[in-house]
């Protein structure tokens, strides 16, 4: 190896000339670059050592995982005994390799990483420390020389001069000693850095050679025969796989050659089998998720004996849904879906609506449930009995609409009102098929869920004395004659649910459809809070009054109310249709328009309908004094001559709810 050509001369340390300082700066720059490179090289070597250590840990974990295969007890692991024994042999070999990897990691730590760390911590750190000491000594010498240079020329102080001479000599000696040590360390660093660069790589290479030698001995002596047997085993397995793959490919080609109708849900080529006593397949089941909302879930259903079972996807086994013995099944129309049928328990308390995928599945499920419900599966020859009942099953396939299913005991919207009076507009309800929802309400019609009083209207009603409407019929002294002359004033506590434009006002079905759409919209949009108001019915108009401010939110003339009805099943729901005029065409002749308003009351909606009907009767009777007198004879009156109908509904409710926001029970 060539010798070091550049070095700092120790003889020049005392004089500290600029040439010596210039050469010193070159050595210092070299030492700084060496320190930076050493840190980078050490990081790379530590990364190699870390990877080798991780290799040892990984091989140890691999050996453990190979041994765990036997403990997994795979459900389809029959015939894996040979694989298990082979993996155990591999685990043993991997364990031996793990010991070699661990030994290699230890050798790397001792012969590669440690020497470089020692060089950085000992030699490079020593250079840095000596540089700081040399700098301090140089600064002290310069300060002493400054003091010595300031001695006065005329008035010499021998004592001061002697002290400064001693201080200069001391600092110069100190600087000389520091520079000698610093120069020696920098000169020696030129040799030590070469050893420091070569020693780690020598240790790394020797460790790898030792590892490879021991690995070759392990493989050549112990694993040649074993690896040969494993290779033969894999070839046999691959041959079996190729044979099986070819068979599956041919089977797949044959199955894919079928006609397209196989994939069509409603193109069944096979005839319907009406003698089944067992059936399995996917059906959609309707689940109720709210007051008026439903959801459909696709689940796998099958029959087992006399039970209908259901098995969700991913479940190990199915569970019983319904006992089909003596149950009833019929086809129904539900939510504009096809192939729907309903199964009802014998007691009638439990029922479910299911939807089949196709017409064939639809009819076969109905026939199967019908056969099982008659306990045909318990007979000696169930198929023969099923054939005899085939005709009965066919009759159940004909769909039945919701209007045709209504029994005599079902709620009737036209039942008699109190006092034997029938609500107005009932004559327009004609028998026959019910109109379609699109004929009653235009699709996409917006719904208003609250009645907001405009600010201008509020000011007009409270301007000039601030008179407010009293819901109990008591008026101030300046009340108008119109209020005093009213023969009927009845107040009901109601909650406004919504209003929307409708297409007609002569059919009660339009009110039922509006109720359905309003309740459905509230459920979909999670709107359950309502505000309580007072509905005042007089012989001339209908008013919706704020219970706190007594301000009329909205009012309708009685002749504008063309239809009203209570809900068929929920008696607390009622609604009415108001007729107006649409001037949007701009032709000078307005078209009639209709709006439906839906309310929930604290009492039965039929009482409100009865009161509206009576108000209309009073309005008609006013035209004929004799008829009005006859009507007043038949109805009880209050002390002030007004009709006495019902107790006021505006007091505190049973649950203590005030005029604040309430949650609708609709």
> What pLDDT does residue 73 have?
80
Both 210 and 338 in one domain: the answer is no
How many domains, the chain?
Answer: 3
Both 211 and 335 in one domain: the answer is no
Both 198 and 322 in one domain: the answer is no
Cβ atoms 303, 389 nearer than 8 A? no
Torsion, Cα 169 170 171 177, to 10 degrees, reads: 100
Q: Which domain holds residue 338?
A: 280-390
| Predicted confidence band of residue 10 (pLDDT cuts 50, 70, 90) | confident
Q: What is the DSSP letter of 109?
A: I
pTM of the model: 0.40
Both 443 and 360 in one domain: the answer is no
- Helix H or strand E segment including 91: helix 81-108
Both 443 and 336 in one domain: the answer is no
In a domain, 250, yes or no: no
How far is 265 from 5, CA to CA, in rounded Å?
Answer: 93
What does 33-88 look like in DSSP terms, one character per residue?
HHHHHHHHHHHHHHHHHHHHHHHHHHHHHHHHHHHHGGGG--TT-TT-HHHHHHHH
| CATH code of the domain in which 323 resides | 2.30.29.30
Both 202 and 327 in one domain: the answer is no
- Return the bridge partners of 137, or none: none
| Predicted confidence band of residue 80 (pLDDT cuts 50, 70, 90) | confident
H helices present in 219-315, as ranges = 224-256
Query: Residue 515 in 3-state DSSP?
Result: helix
**Among 181, 197, 219, where does a domain finish?**
219
Determine which of 137-141, 254-258, 595-599 has the lowest per-residue pLDDT on average.
254-258
pLDDT single digits (tens) 615-626 = 888 888 777 766
How far is 426 from 508, CA to CA, in rounded Å?
Answer: 8
Query: Residue 130 in 3-state DSSP?
Result: helix
pLDDT single digits (tens) 283-336 = 999 988 877 788 899 999 999 988 999 998 888 788 899 999 888 888 888 877
Both 56 and 203 in one domain: the answer is yes
Both 76 and 169 in one domain: the answer is yes
Rg (CA), the chain: 51
| Predicted confidence band of residue 642 (pLDDT cuts 50, 70, 90) | low
CA 290 remoteness from chain centre: 19
Phi then psi for residue 321, to 5 deg, are -105, -45
Phi then psi for residue 134, to 5 deg, are -65, -40
User: Which of 49, 218, 188, 32 minimizes the C-alpha distance to 117?
Assistant: 49
In a domain, 72, yes or no: yes
> What pLDDT does residue 97 have?
85
Phi then psi for residue 322, to 5 deg, are -155, 140
In a domain, 5, yes or no: no
Both 624 and 528 in one domain: the answer is yes
How far is 576 from 599, CA to CA, in rounded Å?
Answer: 9
In a domain, 418, yes or no: no
Both 285 and 212 in one domain: the answer is no
């Amino acid at each position: 190896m060539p010798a070091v050509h550049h070095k700092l001369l120790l003889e020049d340390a005392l004089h500290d000339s600029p040439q010596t300082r210039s050469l010193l700066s070159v050595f210092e720059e070299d030492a700084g670059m060496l320190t930076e490179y050493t840190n980078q090289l050490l990081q790379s070597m530590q990364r190699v050592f870390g990877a080798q250590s991780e290799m040892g840990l990984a091989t140890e974990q691999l050996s453990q995982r190979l041994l765990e295969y036997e403990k997994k007890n795979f459900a389809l692991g029959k015939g894996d005994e040979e694989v298990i024994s082979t993996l155990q042999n591999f685990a043993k070999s991997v364990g031996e390799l793990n010991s070699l990897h661990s030994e290699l990691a230890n050798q790397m730590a001792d012969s590669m990483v440690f020497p470089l760390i020692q060089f950085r911590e000992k030699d490079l750190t020593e250079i840095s420390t000596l540089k700081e000491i040399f700098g301090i000594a140089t600064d002290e010498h310069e300060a002493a020389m400054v003091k010595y240079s300031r001695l006065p020329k005329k008035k010499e102080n021998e004592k001061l001069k002697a002290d400064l001479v001693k201080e200069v000599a001391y600092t110069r000696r100190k600087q000389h000693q520091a520079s000698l040590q610093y120069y020696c360390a920098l000169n020696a660093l030129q040799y030590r850095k070469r050893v420091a660069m070569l020693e780690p790589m020598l240790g790394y290479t020797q460790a790898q050679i030792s590892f490879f030698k021991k690995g070759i001995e392990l493989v050549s002596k112990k694993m040649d025969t074993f690896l040969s047997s494993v290779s033969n085993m894999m070839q046999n397995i691959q041959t079996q796989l190729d044979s099986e793959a070819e068979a599956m490919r041919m089977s797949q080609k044959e199955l894919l050659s079928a006609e397209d109708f196989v994939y069509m849900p409603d193109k069944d080529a096979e005839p319907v089998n009406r003698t089944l006593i067992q059936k399995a397949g996917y059906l959609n089941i309707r689940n109720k998720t709210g007051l008026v909302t439903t959801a459909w879930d696709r689940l796998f259903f099958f029959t087992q004996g006399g039970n209908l079972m259901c098995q969700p996807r991913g479940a190990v086994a199915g569970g019983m849904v319904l006992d089909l013995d003596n149950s009833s099944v019929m086809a129904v129309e539900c939510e504009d879906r096809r192939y729907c049928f309903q199964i009802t328990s014998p007691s009638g308390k439990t029922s479910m609506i299911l939807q089949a995928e196709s017409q064939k599945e639809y009819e076969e499920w109905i026939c199967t449930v019908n056969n099982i419900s008659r306990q045909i599966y318990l007979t000696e020859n169930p198929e023969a009995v099923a054939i005899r009942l085939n005709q009965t099953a066919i009759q159940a396939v004909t769909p039945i609409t919701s209007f045709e299913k209504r029994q005599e005991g079902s709620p009737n919207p036209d039942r008699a009102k109190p006092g034997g009076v029938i609500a107005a507009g009932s004559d327009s309800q004609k028998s026959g098929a019910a109109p379609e929802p699109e004929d009653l309400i235009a699709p996409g019609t917006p719904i208003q869920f609250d009645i907001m009083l405009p600010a201008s209207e509020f000011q007009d009603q409270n301007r000039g004395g601030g008179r407010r409407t009293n819901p109990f019929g008591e008026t101030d002294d300046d009340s108008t004659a119109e209020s005093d002359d009213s023969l009927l004033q009845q107040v009901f506590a109601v909650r406004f649910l919504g209003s929307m434009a409708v297409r007609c006002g002569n059919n009660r079905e339009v009110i039922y459809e509006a109720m359905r759409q309003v309740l459905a919209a509230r459920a979909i949009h999670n709107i359950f809070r309502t505000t309580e108001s007072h509905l005042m019915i007089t012989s001339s108009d209908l008013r919706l009054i704020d219970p706190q401010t007594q301000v009329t939110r909205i009012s309708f003339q009685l002749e504008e109310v063309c239809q009203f009805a209570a809900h068929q099943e929920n008696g607390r729901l009622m609604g009415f249709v108001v007729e107006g005029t649409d001037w949007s065409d701009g032709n000078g002749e307005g078209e009639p328009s209709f709006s439906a308003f839906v309310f929930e009351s604290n009492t039965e909606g039929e009482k409100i309908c009865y009161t509206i009907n009576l108000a209309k009767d009073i309005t008609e009777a006013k035209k004929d004094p004799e008829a009005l007198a006859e009507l007043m004879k038949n109805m009880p009156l209050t002390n002030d001559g007004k009709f006495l109908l019902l107790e006021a509904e505006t007091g505190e409710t049973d649950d203590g709810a005030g005029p604040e926001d309430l949650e609708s029970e609709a």
